[in-house]
Amino acid sequence: MRYLLEPRKGKGYAYNLGIASATGEVLVFTDDDVRPHHGWLESLTAPIAAGDADAVLGNIALAPHLRRNWMEAGHRVMLGDTELVTGGSAFELVGANMAFSRDVLAHVPGFDEELGPGALGFCEDTLFSRQLREAGFRLRFVENASVEHHFSERRLTREAFKERARAEGRALAYIDYHWEHIEMPRIRWRILRAQLGYLISLILHTGEWSRTEGAAGWEIRNLVMISYHRQCLIERRRSRSYDKRGLIKKIRGSN
């Protein structure tokens, strides 16, 4: 085991330092708050070693003491749970339990450092997954490569879910503008409409104000949209960092 220090703020920088320093043919990623099940590493890497997949997502389950009766599937997914992944082609990699072949780096060289915790807050693995698919690589879900997620209970608070929603909105706006090249007309009007809708919903659901854990689906959706449109307003002042659906970042966008 080697300890590497990345002084720059942002998970993307840490990921890319690890990639640059690793020497193996299969690169495995996990987090410091998960507990792997027996046989996890072998199960996660087997499809890549056998040539059946280029990148793999393993199963992530919430630790039993962190599950709550108020949780819906959407809440669990926001906490990293993979329960909605069916093994089809729609899923995206999650950094807490994923692996990929070194070969993919010849086409998709790393993670966007403007995304993820410490930067915009989310979606560094989302964009990477989309780029892998765009390059024609095969992603596979391996259910028996399981880890249990033991995150801090602070992530269950209403405020934490609200911030998670804002981070998702910012990151998705970045991807849509820089990678998808989506144009968003009348952004200020969209922001105003989303804010007004949020305020009306708060008035209609006054009981939510005293809630300490979790957040209602309507609140999460509203906050994602408000944050998304605000970030669109910021990003459209910049030159695009990718060709449309590009695999390699050109430059850091400038004002």
Question: In this predicted model, what pLDDT tens digit does every residue of 178-207 receive, in sequence order?
Answer: 999 999 899 999 999 999 999 999 999 988
Indicate the DSSP class of residue 37: P
- pLDDT band per the 50, 70, 90 thresholds, residue 208: confident
Helices and strands (H and E) in the chain: how many: 7, 5
Whether pTM > 0.75 for this model: the answer is yes
Helical (H) or strand (E) element with 85: none
Confirm whether 244 is domain-assigned: no
Spell out the residues 6+ positions from residue 227 whose beta carbon is closer than 8 angstroms to its own.
Answer: 165, 166, 167, 168, 169, 170, 173
The residue among 153, 185, 217 that closes a domain is 153
The residue among 153, 168, 190 that closes a domain is 153
Same domain, 93 and 164: no
In the chain, the number of structural domains is 2
By C-alpha distance, which of 154, 170, 253 is closest to 213?
154
Same domain, 104 and 174: no
Same domain, 172 and 128: no
Q: What is the pLDDT of residues 101-135, one digit of tens each?
A: 999 999 999 999 999 999 999 999 999 999 999 99
Same domain, 138 and 214: no
